[in-house]
């Protein structure tokens, strides 16, 4: 089939990489609902259909694969959700223990990540492939150049681990960038109120080269003692835990 550039299609063909992704999925906690995003021609699906879970679905936007996948895998009969993942309503499922797995299109990988963290009440864990730059940003610790808004928001909700790189030649056609696989497991309890934290980190990292005292002008804090401790630091110097603690005192 001719690939659709508009959907950012690069299909994984490397058997060794597929087996490593499958092994990472099998390291996750017991699964209730497993959803594979963007299965395409089914390279990863071949492994996922036998994963131990109560229910297995795939979300696929390309209408050609929606038709072909159930022919290839009988277990997918009635389980292929023909939709844009960013518009998919996870409240369709009663379960709050949904696992998301996928080779996410590079052109919407940031949006998919925000979609996942904003549905963290439903998504309990994930193994996902991103452009390496995005994957590093999600998993990065403080004090690094990759650390930013996405790092803090994701890590406040999930324990994140960067697993391994994937070279361009593992795909057909090869992308122009290296890819990265990350694993995420939801924390028992969020480290902060998401909306307050989002407001704080956006204000901080929108001026990441400036000290926090400049970045946070206009935000009031009820605990000035803590604010005094961090006001002369730059955003990347604050850990996720410090951001979460500081967000509790936004007026």
Confidence at residue 226, expressed as pLDDT on a 0 to 100 scale: 82
Compute CA 77 distance to the chain's CA centroid, rounded to the nearest angstrom: 27
Helix or strand run (H / E) with residue 181: strand 179-186
- The predicted-structure confidence for 176-191, as pLDDT tens digits, reads as follows 999 999 999 999 999 9
- Categorize the per-residue pLDDT at 105 as very low, low, confident or very high, splitting at 50, 70 and 90: confident
Tell whether the model's pLDDT for residue 7 goes beyond 70: no
| Residue 223 confidence (pLDDT) | 76
Average pLDDT over residues 195-204: 94
For Cα atoms 130, 132, 135, give the angle at the middle one, nearest 5 degrees. 60
What is the mean predicted confidence (pLDDT) over 216-229?
82
pLDDT one-digit tens code per residue, 38-79: 998 899 999 999 999 999 999 999 999 999 999 999 999 999
Place of tokens 């309890």: 189
Per-residue pLDDT of 123-156, as tens digits, reads 999 999 999 999 999 999 999 999 999 999 999 9
Each domain of the chain, given as residue ranges in start order, spans: 5-186, 194-247
Q: Is the pLDDT of residue 5 over 70?
A: no
In CATH, the number for domain 5-186 is 3.40.50.150
Confidence of residue 3 (pLDDT cuts 50, 70, 90): low
Alpha-carbon distances, residue 138 vs 47, 145, 170, 226 (angstroms):
26, 12, 22, 26
Asked if 65 and 39 touch (Cβ cutoff 8 Å), the reply is yes
User: Which residue has better confidence, 15 or 2?
Assistant: 15
Separation in Å, CA 13 to CA 8, 10, 41, 170: 16, 9, 10, 6
pLDDT for the residue numbered 18: 97
According to CATH, the topology of domain 194-247 is Helicase, Ruva Protein; domain 3 (1.10.8)
Q: Please tell me the total number of residues recorded for the chain in this structure.
A: 251
């Amino acid at each position: 089939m001719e690939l659709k550039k508009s959907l950012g299609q690069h299909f994984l063909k490397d058997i060794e990489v597929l087996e490593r992704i499958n092994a990472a999925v099998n390291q996750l906690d017991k699964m209730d609902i497993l959803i594979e995003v963007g299965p395409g021609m089914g390279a990863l699906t071949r492994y996922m259909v036998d994963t131990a879970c109560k229910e297995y679905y795939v979300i696929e936007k390309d209408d050609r694969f929606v038709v072909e996948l159930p022919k290839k895998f009988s277990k997918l009969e009635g389980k292929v959700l023909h939709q844009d993942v960013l518009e998919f309503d996870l409240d369709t499922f009663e379960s709050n223990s949904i696992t998301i797995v996928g080779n996410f299109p590079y052109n919407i990988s940031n949006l998919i990540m925000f979609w996942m963290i904003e549905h963290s009440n439903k998504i309990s864990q994930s193994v996902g492939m991103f452009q390496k730059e995005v994957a590093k940003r999600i998993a990065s610790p403080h004090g690094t150049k990759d650390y930013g808004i996405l790092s803090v928001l994701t890590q406040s909700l999930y324990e994140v681990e960067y697993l391994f790189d994937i070279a361009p030649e593992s795909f057909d056609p090869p992308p122009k960038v290296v890819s990265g696989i990350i694993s995420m497991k939801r924390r028992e309890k969020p480290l902060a109120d998401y909306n307050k934290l989002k407001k704080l980190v956006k204000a901080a990292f929108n001026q990441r080269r400036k000290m926090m005292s400049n970045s946070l002008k206009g935000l009031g804090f009820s605990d000035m003692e803590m604010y005094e401790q961090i006001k002369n630091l730059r955003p990347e110097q604050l850990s996720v835990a410090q951001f979460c603690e500081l967000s509790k005192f936004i007026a």
